Amino acid sequence: MSRVYNFSAGPAAVPVDVLKKAQQEMLEWHDSGMSVMEMSHRGKDFISIAEKAEADVRELMNVPENYKVLFLQGGATTQFSMVPMNLLRGKDKTCYVNTGAWSKKAIKEAKIHSNVHISASSESTNFTTIPAVDSWDVDQNAAYLHYTSNETIGGVEFHSIPDVGDIDLVADMSSNILSREFDVSKFGVIYAGGQKNMGPSGIALTIVREDLIGNVKAGSPSMMDYKNHADAGSMFNTPATYSWYLMGLVFEWIKEQGGVSAIEAQNVRKAEKLYAAIDNSDFYANPVELTSRSRMNIPFTLANAELEGLFLSEAKSAGLVTLKGHRSVGGMRASIYNAMPEEGVDALISMMAEFERTKA
């Protein structure tokens, strides 16, 4: 078949221009005589690729000079551990906000290292809301407060950065980094797995304020210490070179689209039209409270759940794939990250309307 519109929650669609560039350079990068994946990470060619990727993401996110940008292995799940192991600084207590499946995983991991205080939770609404920030119970003596800026399963998203006072703010931005503008200076640590808005899995981006580096818990493996990675320019061990290169191609592509503000405008448009199609139908429904809806992951149900299998097969015939919802929520889910073109969303909306008209 030809290329489809892929609504996977992650690993997810990659911009086709990025894939074409990678394809073109696969056997030989520029005049190096070799593929990027064959290059020594200590050689000048790979160093130039690595440095350009860092410079581009610093420019795209307007990262202040007193923050390190790290390209690490092990995904967000490793960051779930590295955050408490590096940020406790002798304290015992941490604050977490629970907005769904990914928050819960971060909390579970933090409990291995700290006394976790849940500052707020939307469990009582079955994770269909973002708890109002003025209701949060933030212990200013905790080491930091952690939240998940977008939840891929529930489909909820923070639409502003919570003001939590003087405590260091940590965000898992795995599923909405680079999809909207963020003021990095408001955070102690930002981290994100690569496989949603930055390219392949197997590489994570961590942005950490310099004063938070150098305090790893005694007895931690060297790989868990931000300082080792920061001091070595993310080459404390052999980095995931090819994934780093692919991430750099995605950063270039975002710049070509006009940067994060232009991408954000596209994302607003894509999400608004899909939500409108759902809301204007009696057949489709999204359970999330209006102001908490995610621009990235849009779960929706069919009025008749018995038609789900037929919906998926009709969608696939129309070149629209990976729409099955997460088992814990059911129904459908359209993940529409940066790389999903507006035409893909339009095609989904058309197919949904046609399905409702003919099969509902």
Active site residue: 56, 168, 172, 225, which one? Answer: 172
Q: Is 313 exposed, middle or buried (0-12, 13-18, 19+ CB in 10 A)?
A: exposed
Nearer to a second copy, 238 or 304 (CB): 238
Give 269's contacts (C-beta < 8 A, 6+ positions apart). Answer: 342
- Find out whether 42 is annotated in a ligand binding site: yes
Residue 35 touching a second copy (CB under 8 A): yes
> Site for a second copy (CB under 8 A): how many residues?
69
Phi-psi region of 233 (alpha: psi -120 to 50; beta: other; left: phi over 0): left
C-alpha 170/C-alpha 182 separation (Å) is 13
Q: Out of 29, 196, 244, 253, which one is annotated catalytic?
A: 196
143, 187, 180, 179: which is closest to 163 by C-alpha? 187
CA-to-CA distance for 104 and 4, rounded, in angstroms?
33
Question: Shortest Cβ distance from residue 184 to a second copy (Å)?
Answer: 24
Tell me whether residue 96 or residue 283 sits nearer to a second copy (CB atom): 96
Is 172 a known active-site residue?
Answer: yes
Residue owning tokens 């975002």: 254
Cα 53 to Cα 63: distance, rounded to the nearest angstrom: 13
Distances (CA, A) of 359 to 123, 298, 322, 350, 352: 35, 22, 20, 14, 10
Cα 359 to chain center, whole Å? 35
From the list 320, 326, 317, 328, the residue with the least C-alpha distance to 298 is: 326
- For the segment 8-27, give every residue that binds a second copy (CB under 8 A): 8-14, 16, 19-20, 22-23, 26-27
Q: Which of 50, 75, 153, 254 lies at the binding interface for a second copy (CB under 8 A)?
A: 75
275-304 residues in contact with a second copy (CB under 8 A) are: none
According to the annotation, is 76 in a ligand binding site?
yes
Q: Does 200 bind a second copy (CB under 8 A)?
A: yes
**At closest approach, how far in Å is the CB of 88 from a second copy?**
13
Taking the least distance from each CB to a second copy, the nearer of 72 and 207 is 72
**Quick one: which of 169, 198, 203, 288 contacts a second copy (CB under 8 A)?**
203
Could you say whether residue 76 binds a second copy (CB under 8 A)?
yes
The contact set with a second copy (CB under 8 A) reads 1-4, 6, 8-14, 16, 19-20, 22-23, 26-28, 31-35, 37-41, 43, 73-78, 80-81, 85, 108-109, 112-113, 193, 195, 199-203, 219-224, 236-243, 246, 319, 321-322
Active site residues: 102, 172, 196
